[in-house]
A and B are shown apart, each in its own frame.
Chain A
Amino acid sequence: MGIVNLLFKNRLVPNIEEIEVYEAHGGYVGLRRAAGMERQAVIDEIKASGLRGRGGAGFPTWIKWNGLPKNYDAPHYVICNADEGEPGTYKDRELMLKMAHTLVEGVILAGYATHSKKGYIYIRGEYVEVAWQVRKAIDQAYKKGYLGKNILGVEGFDFDCYIHLGAGSYECGEESALMSSLMGERGNPRLKFPHAPLPTVQGIWKAPTLVNNVESFCAATAVMTIGGEEYAKLGTEKSKGTKIMSVSGHVARPANYEIELGTPLLELLREAGGVTGGQLKAVIPGGSSVQIVPADRLDKINLDYESCGANGTLLGSGGFMVFNDRTDIVLLMKRTSEFYAHESCGKCTPCREGTRWLYKILDRITSGNGQPGDVELLLDVCSQIDGRSYCGLGDAACWPIVGAIKSFRPEFEYWIKNKRSPIGENALPPTPERVNPLLTLTAA
Chain B
Amino acid sequence: MSPSNNLTERPREPKPAPDRERRFSAQSIAELEEIVTHYPERKAACLPALWIAQREYGGYLTTSAIQEVADYLGLSYAEVEGVATFYTMYNLRPRGRHHLEVCTCLTCAVLGAYDIVHKLEHELGVGIGQTTADGEFTLSEAECLNFCGAATVVQVGDRYFTHITSENVMGLIDELRRSENYTPAKLADAIVKILIPGSGESGGGSSDKEALQGAPGPML
Contact = CB atoms under 8 A, between A and B. Distances in A.
Any A–B CB pair closer than 8 Å = yes
Interface of A: 75, 84-90, 92-94, 97-98, 120, 124-129, 131-133, 135-140, 142, 162-170, 181-187, 205, 246-250, 254-256, 284, 288, 319, 321, 323, 327, 332, 335-336, 339, 342-343, 345, 428-430, 432-444
Q: By DSSP majority rule, is chain A's interface helix, strand, loop, or mixed? A: mixed
B110 A327 contact: yes
Contacts of A182: 44
B83 A85 contact: no
A131 B220 CA distance: 16
Nearest to B197: A139
11 contacts: A87-B105, A126-B145, A127-B146, A128-B191, A138-B197, A167-B51, A250-B110, A250-B111, A429-B104, A444-B140, A444-B141
Q: Which 7 A-B pairs have the closest CB atoms?
A: A132-B205, A184-B46, A167-B87, A444-B140, A168-B88, A429-B109, A139-B200
Interface in B45-74: 45-48, 50-51, 73
B201 interface: yes
Contacts of B195: 162-165
A129 B197 contact: no
Given A128-B191, A132-B205, A442-B1, A90 B199 contact: no
Interface string B147-161: 111110001001110
Contact of B149 (A90, A250, A336): A90
B89 A125 contact: yes
B94 interface: no
A335 B109 contact: yes
Given A126-B89, A128-B191, A250-B110, A184 B83 contact: yes
Interface residue SS majority, chain B = mixed
Nearest to B35: A162
B205 to A, nearest CB: 3
Contacts of B11: none
B86 A186 contact: yes
A440 B110 contact: no
A441 B146 contact: no
Contact of B194 (A87, A132, A140): A132
Contact of A183 (B43, B87, B200): B43
Given A139-B200, A343-B143, A131 B46 contact: no
B124 interface: no
Given A184-B44, A254-B148, A428 B200 contact: no
